[in-house]
């Protein structure tokens, strides 16, 4: 995955010196900082005080997501400081860029894992393998953190060893296009593993959940409000696409060397939108906890019907002379 916030630009990159967008970025990051800090601290406090408000597996995912958002929020003052006209040290700039990159892809993978976990619980309620996999939620989250940090660090280590020097030093931190977005290996890994696979997983899981809702007896009997579950899936999809799709579209434009006077400003705006996920993720927490019981009820109803069907099949296959408590191994004598 490439550096989302490189301190150097492409060879033909121009610096962003316009005052209008800079002050818009200052206002945007300030709003995200205050709102994201309050919402995520509140979410963590609720998760800590009410650990069983939702299923423990889902709570683990949401807690990790809130921690990732909070870490990003704590670095946003450096962006406000930079866009206000000051200059950050290269090391501090790189650290802030690394946290943004880790947060972005941690959020992508955690949202995808939450959807996959919910889908498996509903569609395969009786599977012992699914139950065993769901118990490994902490290990899944550890794997997400390891993947995102491990995939982001090489970009910065390469730059430190001279893999990508600043182009003439004419652009300050945050004011240039990412040079690594022009490399085929980096852009390919980012668009496929970092965005494409999680997006495909979320779409597939949403389709499976909608299919399960249409066939659910609990929904048809009015025991579960299918509309609430659909709203939950819609919020998850909107947050995912709204926050992360613009950034990856801009990476494609940079890789294809699309020229335009506003390309840098659009790229910077896409980073601002990506950071806004710290304020939108609490919506995911709200809808997830509000609809969790209904979603699990669909899975339990599917499990109940599966058990009933299995019992009926087993009953139909039992020989007639095996019923009853008669003599000779349960067989009923003819003269009885």
* pLDDT one-digit tens code per residue, 246-279: 999 999 999 888 777 788 889 999 999 999 999 9
Query: What pLDDT does 246 receive?
Result: 96
Question: What percent of the chain is predicted at pLDDT more than 70?
Answer: 68
* Cα separation, 110 vs 150, whole angstroms: 16
Q: Residue 315 pLDDT more than 90?
A: no
Dig out the tokens for 68 from the structure.
Answer: 């990732």
Choice among 47-61, 150-164, 277-291 with the minimum mean pLDDT: 150-164
Q: Residue 78 pLDDT more than 60?
A: yes
Q: Does domain 19-168+180-305 have CATH number 1.10.10.10?
A: no
Per-domain boundaries in the chain: 19-168+180-305
pTM higher than 0.85: no
Q: Residue 146 pLDDT more than 80?
A: yes
DSSP 5-72: T-SS--TT------HHHHHHHHHHHHHHHHHHHHHHHHHHHHHHH-TTSS-HHHHHHHHHHHHHHHHH
Please compute the mean of the pLDDT values over residues 293-310 and round it to a whole number.
Answer: 49
Biggest CA–CA distance in the chain, Å, is 106
Q: Residue 285 pLDDT more than 50?
A: yes
């Amino acid at each position: 995955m490439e550096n989302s916030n490189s301190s150097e630009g492409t060879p033909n990159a121009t610096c962003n010196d316009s005052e209008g967008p800079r002050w818009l970025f200052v206002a945007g990051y300030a709003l995200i900082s205050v709102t994201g800090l309050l919402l995520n601290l509140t979410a963590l406090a609720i998760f800590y005080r009410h650990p069983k408000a939702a299923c423990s597996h889902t709570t683990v995912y949401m807690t990790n997501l809130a921690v990732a958002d909070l870490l990003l929020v704590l670095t946003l003052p450096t962006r406000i400081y930079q866009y206000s006209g000051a200059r950050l040290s290269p090391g501090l700039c790189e650290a802030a860029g690394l946290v943004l990159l880790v947060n972005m892809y941690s959020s992508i993978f955690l949202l995808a894992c939450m959807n996959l976990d919910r889908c498996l619980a509903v569609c395969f309620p009786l599977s012992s393998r699914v139950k065993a996999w769901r118990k490994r939620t902490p290990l899944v989250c550890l794997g997400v953190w390891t993947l995102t940090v491990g995939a982001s660090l090489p970009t910065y280590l390469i730059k430190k060893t001279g893999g990508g020097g600043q182009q003439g030093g004419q652009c300050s931190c945050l004011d240039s296009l990412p040079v690594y977005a022009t490399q085929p290996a980096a852009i390919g890994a980012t668009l496929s593993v970092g965005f494409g696979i999680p997006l495909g997983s979320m779409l597939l899981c949403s389709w499976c959940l909608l299919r399960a809702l249409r066939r659910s007896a609990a929904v048809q009997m009015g025991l579960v409000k299918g509309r609430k579950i659909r709203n939950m899936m819609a919020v998850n999809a909107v947050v995912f696409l709204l926050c992360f799709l613009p950034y990856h579209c801009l990476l494609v434009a940079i890789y294809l060397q699309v020229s335009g006077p506003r390309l840098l400003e659009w790229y910077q705006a896409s980073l601002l939108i990506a950071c806004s996920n710290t304020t939108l993720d609490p919506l995911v927490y709200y809808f997830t906890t509000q609809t969790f019981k209904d979603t699990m009820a669909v899975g339990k109803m599917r499990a109940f019907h599966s058990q009933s069907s299995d019992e009926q099949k087993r009953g139909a296959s039992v020989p007639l002379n095996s019923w009853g408590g008669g003599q000779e191994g349960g067989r009923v004598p003819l003269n009885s």
